[in-house]
A and B are shown apart, each in its own frame.
Chain A
Amino acid sequence: MKKTTKQKLRRAILYLVFVLAVVLFAVLADWGQIQTSFFNLDVAAEMLPRVFTVAAKNTIVYTFTAFSFGLVLALVLALMKRSEIRPYRWVANSYIELFRGLPALVTIIFVAYGLPIALDIRIPGGLLGQGTVGLGLVAAAYMAETLRAGIEAVPRGQMEAARSLGMSRGAAMRSIVLPQAFRIIIPPLTNELVLLIKDTSLFFVLGSTPVNKELTKFGRDLMTQKFNATPLVVIALVYLIITLPLTRLVAQLEKRAARAR
């Protein structure tokens, strides 16, 4: 057989398998059952407007709180990691290794339940406080590495030029190096934000009230209550509405950064 004929035949077979699989699925699937279990419009309608006004809002609030807390902590860690004082570097390195090595869920449970039981320390703010502190601690470890890389990506001459004009180390860091470092790390930081949005779903392990549920807990509770999977499909869509524009934004920022180089 000729080589080109062989290639054509292979393509034809692959297409055929695909079409057969689709047909088989369409014939065998119980469309009525799928519609009532996953795309039940009555159940979906009941979720409005609270899926947006309560659940999605909470997810976003938790995300930004954890992100802000994590970013501040990350900045401290990144600067410690670059410190001339060895113990500071040591503490920062250990912190980063520890929290990157643990599941985020363990940290969240530790903050919410471990601390009160072990030391009678209660992070204020209920679900918002405990969850975001736990998640922020984890996010800080990742963002510290990103920030350090960003600071190191700013050419050394920038610090030297600022210092040669008489600026102190701190002033040069604040007004010359950090603004440039942040510009470099906007794409990876946005990625971290997307990860955090998804990680707020871990808050389902924390006790909740009707007003402080985030998307996952909201969907899961309703699924159990209605014995129907539609709420999960709805919250999945809401997650995508939030995350897809952000991931698209990251892709665009990266493309622009690549062009500028």
Chain B
Amino acid sequence: MNENVPPIEAIDLHKHFGQLEVLRGIDFTVDAQEVVCVVGPSGSGKSTLLRCVNLLEVPTAGKVLVEGIDMTDPETDVDAVRARIGMVFQQFNLFPHLTVLRNLTIAQQKVLKRSEDEANEEARKVLERVGLSDKVDEFPIRLSGGQQQRVAIARSLSMNPDMMLFDEPTSALDPELVGEVLDVMRGLAQEGMTMMVVTHEMGFARQVGDRVVFMDEGIIVEEGPPDDVLLNPQHERTQRFLQAVLRQ
């Protein structure tokens, strides 16, 4: 892969849902091994931006390039690109009818065409990494929310992705379970994973993020190093948002 091509690049991205303009011209880049945290009030379009990266939402106008490949080009093999992008959802979205192990192997076998042995070996490796080796044969419903989200992260990692997208990964968790998920994400960041994280965890954004992007009403209001954006915001809108968040 060309080192100069950013893993994720959005150019003048627009997304409308009917009359509603959710994204109104976004220019956005994530560089290799960078951790970018996207923050902002709900309805600001941050999740939509994230979902446009792997084309779960199809942009109305503009371009999304993943490793230089234009996702909106009809000729692009979107499935092949998606296999290289890990995605973690707010609601975990584990497959409830499959065991933890099978959750991790099904796409390896069906998409990457790995043998069952290869897939099982990889699955056990990543489960150990997220600290859930003892849960291989459980069904997701028997796990706590934090454990389910760690399995979801492991499911993405088992595909050996080039980058990871996180869509509010801790928002559905009980407060005492947030830490274990953030720890796994922190570990990934330290190992150099390219990450785009939509989050409300300002502490995580400050400690782990290389860059913080603040969005409101479908545009990027301000972005920069976490300490600049979160501690010394330039825009009045950012200041108001952070005050409201910190008051909680």
Cβ-defined contact, B79 with A168, below 8 A: yes
Cβ-defined contact, A158 with B79, below 8 A: no
Cβ-defined contact, B91 with A163, below 8 A: no
Does any Cβ of B come within 8 Å of A124's Cβ? no
Question: Are A164 and B110 CB-contacts (below 8 A) given A157-B89, A157-B93, A158-B93?
Answer: no
- The residues of A that contact B79 with a CB separation of less than 8 Å are 163, 166-168
Cβ-defined contact, A163 with B93, below 8 A: no
- The residues of A that contact B147 with a CB separation of less than 8 Å are none
- The residues of A that contact B80 with a CB separation of less than 8 Å are 166
In the assembly, what is the distance between CA of A158 and CA of B85, in Å?
17
Cβ-defined contact, A165 with B107, below 8 A: yes
Interface string of B84-121 (1 = CB under 8 A from A): 11010101011111000000001100111000000000
Q: Please tell me which stretch of A1-9, A103-111, A112-120, A175-183 contacts chain B, meaning at least 4 of its Cβ atoms lie within 8 angstroms of it.
A: A175-183
Contact among A157, A175, A176, A179 for B91, CB-based, below 8 A? A157
- The residues of A that contact B155 with a CB separation of less than 8 Å are 165
Q: Which residue of B lies closest to A157 (CB)?
A: B93
Contact among A163, A164, A165, A180 for B96, CB-based, below 8 A? A180
Instruction: List A84-105 residues whose CB lies under 8 Å from chain B.
Output: none
Q: Which residue of B lies closest to A182 (CB)?
A: B97
Cβ-defined contact, B82 with A164, below 8 A: yes
- The residues of A that contact B96 with a CB separation of less than 8 Å are 180
Interface string of A178-207 (1 = CB under 8 A from B): 011001000000000000000000000000
Contact among B84, B89, B97 for A179, CB-based, below 8 A? B97
Does any Cβ of B come within 8 Å of A46's Cβ? no
Contact among A158, A165, A176 for B111, CB-based, below 8 A? A165
Q: Which residue of B lies closest to A183 (CB)?
A: B97
Question: Are A162 and B89 CB-contacts (below 8 A) given A167-B79, A168-B79?
Answer: no
Cβ-defined contact, B159 with A176, below 8 A: no
Interface string of B182-216 (1 = CB under 8 A from A): 00000000000000000000000000000000000
In the assembly, what is the distance between CA of A189 and CA of B46, in Å?
42
Does any Cβ of B come within 8 Å of A257's Cβ? no
In the assembly, what is the distance between CA of A168 and CA of B79, in Å?
6
Cβ-defined contact, B110 with A167, below 8 A: yes
Q: Which residue of A lies closest to B77 (CB)?
A: A166
Does any Cβ of B come within 8 Å of A121's Cβ? no
| Min CB–CB distance B182 → chain A (angstroms) | 21
Contact among B95, B111, B112 for A161, CB-based, below 8 A? B95
Question: Are A163 and B56 CB-contacts (below 8 A) given A179-B97, A180-B97?
Answer: yes
Cβ-defined contact, A175 with B89, below 8 A: no
Interface centre among A155, A158, A175 (most CB of B within 10 A): A175
Q: Which residue of A lies closest to B102 (CB)?
A: A175
Cβ-defined contact, A158 with B107, below 8 A: no
Question: Are A166 and B159 CB-contacts (below 8 A) given A161-B95, A175-B110, A180-B96?
Answer: yes
In the assembly, what is the distance between CA of A238 and CA of B152, in Å?
51
Does any Cβ of A come within 8 Å of B170's Cβ? no
Cβ-defined contact, A164 with B54, below 8 A: yes
16 intermolecular pairs with C-beta atoms under 8 Å apart: A157-B89, A158-B95, A162-B95, A164-B54, A164-B85, A164-B87, A165-B83, A166-B82, A166-B107, A167-B79, A167-B110, A168-B79, A176-B95, A176-B106, A180-B97, A183-B97
Binding site for B on A (CB under 8 A): 155, 157-158, 160-168, 171, 175-176, 179-180, 183
